[in-house]
Chain A
Amino acid sequence: MTLLALVLVMFAAAGPASLPDVEDEVMCVECGTALNISQSAVADQERAYIRREIARGRDKQQIKAGLVREYGPGVLALPDDGGFNLAVYLVPGVLALLAAGALALAARRWRRGGREPAAEDPGPQLAAADERRLDAELAAFDR
């Protein structure tokens, strides 16, 4: 069964592509949005190019390589790792590190809080005279 699934996946990967399959992995080069939601003249041209390549029996990787030849690497939905685009890769990592640090700090505080309970509140203090009177009255009850 697993082998059959593997063969099907391999066949699907190597077989001819479909327009929706390619569209969601490339960008409209002029609009800056994914091609599958873009409505512009250049997006129409990109779709026409993809349809032509599908008709020629190209698979998805070949079509994407062709798009890069025509429009440059910016046509791929995955941005390149140069200049400001580097932030796309760095910022999530930095945020994940920050979140992990905050979690570790919170966990440490929580554990420390569990081991060292806060000192009990002694409540309002009695004056010495009142304390003596209270002791005497309690002693009277004990008799």
Chain B
Amino acid sequence: MRFGSIAVIACLAALVGLLAYGVASKQTDTSIDQAVASGKRIDAPLATLPVLGRSGSASLADYRGKVVVMNFWASWCKPCIEELPLLERTQRVIAGRGGTVLGVNYKDVSTDALAFVHRFGLTYPSLRDRDGRLADRYASRAFPETFVIDRRGRIAARRRGPVDQRWLDATLPRLLAEHA
């Protein structure tokens, strides 16, 4: 076979490979859901992000030793806004028991997000995931989404969709009772 033909076939194979990689990389990662469903706890992905409404940045790692109710939300997401009062009530209950709610504000205009923080008097912090990279690592696809991280930094529960009091009551007490 001549060199020209080999080169053309190699280039076509490379293009097909590139296309296959592109398609494969867009597949939804289900490892977190599978782990939670089987009762396994895997390390929660970490990222250092700017804090909403304050200077400086923070990471989930800063909350090691606490039970963290990590809630992905955005001001343009109506169900996210509807659950903010419940999350604030939860914060008031768990703050004294070694837990915290941690908002992760997703692809949002900071002033719009802060307007809701003030409107609902949210006392828990929110990090700004402005380009959605942290959400990608949690394979987030339908907002709001909430992940409960145990005191050792592992994902113990997840809720893809709005949380309700019953789910929080079934999830948080046993985790708050655990030691680091």
* Interface check B156, CB cutoff 8 A: no
CB-based closest 7 A-B pairs: A72-B131, A41-B76, A45-B76, A29-B107, A42-B76, A72-B130, A70-B109
Residues of B with C-beta under 8 A to A70: 108-110, 130
Alpha-carbon distance A49/B75, docked complex (angstroms): 13
* Interface check A118, CB cutoff 8 A: no
Chain A 72-103, CB within 8 Å of chain B: the 1/0 string?
Answer: 11100000000010010001001000100110
Interface residue total, chain B, C-beta cutoff 8 A: 23
Given A41-B78, A72-B131: A84 touches B21 (CB 8 Å cut-off): yes
Q: Are B75 and A45 in contact (CB under 8 A)?
A: yes
A-B contact pairs, 15 of them (CB 8 A): A29-B107, A29-B131, A41-B76, A70-B109, A71-B131, A72-B130, A73-B131, A74-B131, A84-B22, A87-B18, A91-B18, A94-B11, A101-B4, A101-B7, A105-B4
* Interface check B112, CB cutoff 8 A: yes
A46: nearest chain-B partner, CB-CB: B109
B129: nearest chain-A partner, CB-CB: A72
Residues of B with C-beta under 8 A to A71: 107, 130-131
Q: Are B107 and A30 in contact (CB under 8 A)?
A: yes
Chain B interface, DSSP helix/strand/loop, else mixed: helix
Chain B 93-120, CB within 8 Å of chain A: the 1/0 string?
Answer: 0000000000000011110100000000
Chain A 6-36, CB within 8 Å of chain B: the 1/0 string?
Answer: 0000000000000000000000011000000
* Interface check A131, CB cutoff 8 A: no
Alpha-carbon distance A21/B110, docked complex (angstroms): 24
Q: Are B22 and A45 in contact (CB under 8 A)?
A: no
* Interface check B15, CB cutoff 8 A: yes
Q: Are A84 and B109 in contact (CB under 8 A)?
A: no
Alpha-carbon distance A84/B108, docked complex (angstroms): 25
Partner of B76, one of A44, A91, A94: A44
A28: nearest chain-B partner, CB-CB: B107
Most chain B beta carbons < 10 A, residue from A30, A70, A94, A101: A70
Residues of B with C-beta under 8 A to A73: 131
Alpha-carbon distance A73/B130, docked complex (angstroms): 10
Alpha-carbon distance A50/B180, docked complex (angstroms): 47
Alpha-carbon distance A70/B18, docked complex (angstroms): 31
Residues of B with C-beta under 8 A to A74: 131-132
Alpha-carbon distance A105/B8, docked complex (angstroms): 12
Q: Are B22 and A42 in contact (CB under 8 A)?
A: no
A40: nearest chain-B partner, CB-CB: B76
For residue B83, give the distance in angstroms from its CB to the closest CB of chain A.
16
Alpha-carbon distance A61/B66, docked complex (angstroms): 43
Alpha-carbon distance A42/B7, docked complex (angstroms): 45
